[in-house]
Structure 1
Amino acid sequence: MKRIFTSAHICLVAAIAILMASCEKEKLSGVIANEKVANVNLSLENRIEVGSGDNFTLNNDEITIPITVNLSDASGTAFNVQVTPNIDTIATLVGSGALAPGTIALADQTFNFPPVIDFAYGVKSTTFDLKVSRSFVERNHDKLLALAVKISGASKGNKVEAGKNSTVVVIDAAAAIAAEDVHYILFKAAGAPYMVPNGVNYTIGTQDVSIPLELTLAGLAGSDFTVDVAPNDALVTTLINNGTLKNTIVLNSNSYALTNTKIKFLSNENTAKLELTARISEFLKNTKKKVAIGLLLKNPSKFQLDETKKSIVVVIDPDHFRPYNGAPFVIKGAIGAVSDMIPAAQYDFGGEGIAFHDTGGKDGVGDYRPNDNVDVGDYTPRSVVGWTSDGEWLTYTVDVEESGEYELNSLIGAPGTNGRYSVFFDDVNITGILASAQTPGSYGDQQPNRTTVQLTKGRHIMKFFMNVGAYDVRGWIFTRKK
């Protein structure tokens, strides 16, 4: 009896609870149904001026401009509104006089903002950010820039107030960014746009000369960006035609190479490197003329080019690069003076057909000037050229201090008497065909072969021509006679 009573009691309590919950739910539904949410009107300022004020922030990448959408009252519910740009409006406003003459519209892809703005319950305004490319502003630093921003399509019955659905943002570029803070990309080189390589700003190999070039970003560095480098033959041609570059020709772009035609400035770096590599044999073909290579910076992904230093012309004097030691061998001009030996293995740069002619493969020491087929003997220091064949030749740049009569001593090692050779200065044979004397020690015992020659003061190309190559040659010594 007691257990039955307890069960009935529980059922009664549950029923009462269900009934009470049902009544409360009905009351709440009634309240919600009867509550009336007030809609609000949305509006924008008619115009936002950006420049000398503090209504924007600036970093290395962009200008951030806050735009506030105002509500006529506190929002009764959460909702959203669409935001769109209008570039075409700017030209109309300029034409009507509403904007100053010369004002230009922000270009497409140079700005961004959220396409939809969300409003929370109970707010009276919401602000969103218009972000504008700093690069675009800097590239138009002497102009006024403008963009119209429009709001529409407010949700949940809210409305955009008539006549206040858009704002025109006007940026005074020169006021927003100080002139000294504008970024410029340029070639960094003494005397730019003309640079003539000297003994400290290039490296020379057996076939090529490499000239490092540096690009500079003027202004505070930020995120990484790129800039293209392209040949600029037109500039070189103009400078030649107007007489700025004398005795100079354009070096064909097939005769040089760049390490990269798209140069990357890394984040927070103000410099980037570029290396120009030119084939010595190509520019040495241009006898008695300088060659020039024009380069142009273009298409920066960020910032702008320095108009006065976006180009560079690298002028190469072939005579500067031809001598093996960077300077001609000196033939002393004082009477009785004995010049230092010109080692046969230290022939000019320039390669086959320019600095030498070799008819066979690489004999002798393989690691000395390995890209050349000239056959160098295993002597320390490297001096002797051997394995000679008929018709081969070697050239050397020399500087004769004084005109006069000289003794020419050719140090040759020959196992017999059939060897023949000639010496040319600037393609003129100054010795005729000479016979090489037989040496007791065969090839390895190079001995004097003397003759008298007439030399003219100045810089010359000396050629040793092997009419009949049956010997090793160590080098040449000049002695001034009279």
Structure 2
Amino acid sequence: MKKIIYIALISLAIIGVYSCRKSQIDDLKLPDPNTRSVTGEGIVAGNVSIDNEYIKVPFKISLTGVAEEAFQVGLTLNNDTVTQLINNGTITNAILMPSAGVEYPNVINVAYGTDNSEGVAIVRRSILERNYGKKVVFALKLSAPGKGNKIAAGKSTIMVIINTADLLKPTDIHYLTLNGGGTYNVVYQGDYIVGPAGVTIPLIVSLENQPSTAFNIKIKENIDTIATLVGRGTLPADAIHLDAKDYSVDTLVRFATGASGTIVRLQIPWPVFDANIVANKKFAFAFSISEASNHVIHPTKSKLIVIVNPNVNLDNNSYITGNGTGLTAKYYTNTQLDPNDGRAPFLTRVDETINFGGDDWPKNVRENDSSPSLSYDNFASRWTGEFLAPVRGDYIFYQTEWDDGARLFIDGKAIIDDYTTQWDKPSRNANIHLERGVKYKIEVHHRENVGGQQARLKYEVPSAGINGARVVPKSQLFPTP
């Protein structure tokens, strides 16, 4: 076995040079002839062991003679001595073992009839891994032996120096990484979870090498990093950081016992995506692993830039209520010809919906208060503007309650074209697939011949749960600019 752990006895002379406290100097009196002197001998050769979580360092004390009675020797950490030896350069490239990183017995039991005894110090492996390439040092001080026994002068301290590079290889280190570090682009149909309230993006924290017992990690968000990276041109100019109220992220997560990974959840509600439809900005975040109660945070792969593409919103099919005001309506009197025949309209206005019928229509279509209304049995109408599709799915549009001729254009394509003198025909319906949140150009024609008159533009989207024909609402209609 390599000489990976060095255990030294600190003599009175050394302590005298580096100690500034009288209490650290051992008693120089000779022991009573009937007592035994106790000396820290150090490591039990060949018995140092290492596993996935701990390093066990056996050490030994000896007596100048056989114990005539069983007794105990106290043990404490001697951090002051180690700190002085590191600070003055006696021990180089070294750190003091944190008190929480080593466990040791408070006493060593010496049995009757023996001249030695052993103890075991248990060192947390993560301390060594976090300080790989350095020496990790701690010292144990013998004190207060029972039954009248004494500590040998100048031999009360056992120093343990662990050279991490001898004990471990770089590939042995339990590194914690966040999605592999770097930049993580979240795009449509990527690795995220769609829910009714929004999208959950799982960020994977991975543990390299053999899993261990349960432990916690903390996640930190570095908000200023995004603005800095956008300013440098490292991130695209259309990347923005959301307000704190517009998203949530786990800041404390737990690794279960035996787990090699855990999930940090980044959650963004659908309304936040909807509010960004026009701006079409990317959402950017900067996360890092800030603390871990066990193992080692990777120096680079623990930092992650997350960029969420706005097209993730394509997986959102909650109903979007627009802020429309209706469609531009042009009425043509004393004609049933195509309203696109070049003649000037009798009247242009905005109609909130296409939902007309009975004696009030077209009685209420007047050029001004003193003029006659639109002709009852000989007129044409044309509505234009945009339709904001509230959901994604296969739409069915209806002009079945329509007297007389009917046409419906979506993005310039006539999906219903029956500009005749017939009315209320059940066949006047059409199917078309539309995407949620997209504004489509819409144009609707009406022809009134004789008799009654009505025009009710309706729709339904059974594939998205909108069942039963209903009038296209004002909120989804926008007039021609």
TM range (shorter): 0.5 to 0.7
Q: Which residue of 1 aligns with 2:150?
A: 159
Q: Secondary structure at the match of 1:199?
A: coil
Paired position in structure 2 for 1:91: 83
Letter paired with 2:298: D
Do 1:357 and 1:393's aligned partners in 2 also have CA atoms closer than 8 Å? no
- Looking at secondary structure, tell me which structure has more strand per residue: 2
CA–CA separation in structure 2 for the residues paired with 1:296 and 1:145:
27
- Residue in 2 that maps onto 1:27: none
CA contact (8 A) 1:146 1:168 kept: yes
Give aligned pairs, total.
354
Which of the numbers 64, 69, 72 marks the counterpart of 1:72? 64
The one-letter code of the counterpart of 1:104 is: I
Alpha-carbon distance between aligned partners in 1 of 2:83 and 2:455, rounded to the nearest angstrom: 82
What is aligned with 1:41?
37
Deviation of 1:83 after TM superposition, in Å, equals: 0.6
| Runs (5+) with no aligned partner, structure 2 | 1-31, 326-352, 357-384, 432-436, 445-453, 462-471, 473-481
SS class of match (2:314):
coil
Report the residue type matching 1:72 in the other structure: T
**RMSD value over aligned CA atoms?**
4.2
1:177 corresponds in structure 2 to 168
Q: Measure the CA separation in 2 of the matches of 1:122 and 1:91.
A: 38
The aligned amino acid for 1:172 is N
Distance 1:221 1:85 in 2: 30
User: Does 1:128 pair with 2:119?
Assistant: yes
The answer (yes or no) to whether the contact 2:219–2:288 under 8 Å persists in 1 is yes
Aligned match for 1:412, one of 365, 387, 398 = 398
Within the candidate set 430, 435, 439, 1:462 is matched to 439
Give the counterpart letter for 1:170 in structure 2. I
Structure 2 match to 1:208: 198
Measure the CA separation in 1 of the matches of 2:165 and 2:354. 72
Amino acid in the other structure paired with 1:212: P
Task: Work out which of the residue numbers 373, 389, 394 in structure 2 matches 1:395.
Answer: 389
Matched, 1:244 2:228: no
- 1:149 deviation in Å? 1.0
User: Of 213, 219, 229, which aligns to 1:223?
Assistant: 213
Give distance in 1, aligned partners of 2:103 and 2:354. Answer: 73
Q: What is the match of residue 60 of structure 1?
A: 52
Look up the equivalent residue of 2:222 and give its one-letter code.
N
TM-score (norm 1): 0.63
Question: Is residue 473 from structure 1 mapped to residue 459 from structure 2 by the alignment?
Answer: yes
CA distance in 2, matches of 1:446, 1:307: 66
> How much does 1:413 deviate?
3.1
Q: 1:193 — aligned with what?
A: 183
1:69-468 to 2 correspondences below 5 Å: 69-100=61-92, 102-188=93-179, 192-246=182-236, 247-258=238-249, 260-286=250-276, 287-318=279-310, 320-323=311-314, 349=317, 351-353=319-321, 356=322, 394-395=388-389, 411-413=397-399, 415=401, 446-447=428-429, 461-463=438-440
Question: Kindly, what percent of the aligned residue pairs are identical?
Answer: 24
Counterpart CA distance in 1 for 2:87 and 2:396 is 86
Paired residues of 1:151 and 1:165 also in contact (CA < 8 A): yes
Aligned to 2:10: none
Q: 1:282 to 1:155 in 2, by over 3 A?
A: same
Q: CA deviation at 1:239?
A: 2.2
Q: Which runs of 5+ in 1 are unaligned?
A: 1-35, 325-347, 360-386, 399-408, 450-459, 477-482
Aligned-pair CA distance for 1:66: 1.0
Amino acid at match of 1:195: N
> What is the identity, as a one-letter code, of the residue corresponding to 1:291?
F
Distance 2:455 2:168 in 1: 74
1:263-309: CA deviation from partner (whole Å, max 9, x where unpaired): 22222221223332211321343313211122222221100111212
TM-fit CA distance, 1:171:
1.0
Task: Quickly say closer, same or farther: Cα 1:121–1:448, change in 2 above 3 A.
Answer: closer
Give the distance between the partners of 1:227 and 1:294, measured in 2 at CA: 17
- The Cα of 1:159 is off from its aligned counterpart by 0.4
Amino acid at match of 2:39: S
SS at match of 1:90: helix
- Counterpart position of 1:377: none
Is residue 388–residue 438 contact of structure 2 (8 Å, CA) maintained in 1?
Answer: no
| Cα offset, 1:218, TM superposition | 0.4
Letter paired with 1:39: T
Q: Deviations over 1:402-456 (max 9, x none)?
A: xxxxxxx9933353569x999998xxxx99xxxx9999558x764369xxxxxxx
- Counterpart residue identity of residue 108, structure 1: S
1:305, 1:466 → 2: CA distance? 60
Once the two structures are superposed, what CA deviation does each residue of 1:158-216 show, in whole Å capped at 9, x if it has no partner? 00000101011111112112211110111235x74333334241233444122222221
| TM-score computed with the length of structure 2 as normaliser | 0.63
**Residue type matched to 2:291 in 1?**
N
